[in-house]
Amino acid sequence: MPEFPLFSSRTEMARRHMTIMPPLASQPVMYVWNGSSSPGPLSVNIDLSEQKAYLFKGGENVGWTYVATGRSGFASPTGTFRIMEKIVDKRSNRYGMILDRNGDVVNSNATAGVSSIPPGGRFVGAKMPYWMRITGYGVGLHAGAIPHPGSPASHGCIRLPRDMAETIFQNASVGARVTIMH
């Protein structure tokens, strides 16, 4: 059975595990989850240096997942947070794309209030499924692309593989602890 590192000098073994294999054999395993039948509240420990989150229920390690946190210039915050709100189908009000009057994308990496919008065009916020807010200034955990597992890629949020984002969303309550460390 695999070992899961904790944020202390000890390690624990996870019992029953489910490994999700990537679509291509050359890609790394993206996450392991075995907490479906484990009792207790879910908490999440995110290690920025590893770009991984470790999941605990009732204090027992129940899995891990790759994450993509803030890239250079968009650092993810560190510290201990609580999930403040949960929204299944959220869109960013800051980052997204600009569409022209015909609905064609003219800027796929737009920032609201910064990127210009052509006459008749509009800003469309990026999808952030399974949104779990952890700060008052717009940082949260959500489903999103992890283009290079082990490397930062976001504007500061914690991106998760879609299936794991849904799993965490279903298992974490508002108030659940999220710790982010270097």
Q: Per-residue pLDDT averaged across 47-55, rounded?
A: 98
Q: Looking at residue 28, what is its pLDDT?
A: 81
| pLDDT grade for 20, boundaries at 50, 70 and 90 | low
Contacts 24+ apart (CB under 8 A), 24-28: 27/149, 28/66, 28/149, 28/150
Q: Report how far apart, in Å, the C-alpha atoms of 97 and of each of 65, 119, 178 are.
A: 28, 15, 29
CATH of the domain at 96: 2.40.440.10
Amino acid (1-letter code) at residue 123? F
Domain range for 19 is 3-181
Amino acid (1-letter code) at residue 111? T
Q: How many domains does the chain fold into? A: 1
Q: Looking at residue 10, what is its pLDDT?
A: 31
- The pair of structure tokens assigned to 163 is 């299936």
Task: Kindly report, residue by residue over 109-158, the tens digit of the pLDDT.
Answer: 999 999 999 999 999 999 999 999 999 999 999 999 999 999 999 999 99
Task: Kindly report, residue by residue over 22-35, the tens digit of the pLDDT.
Answer: 556 667 899 999 99
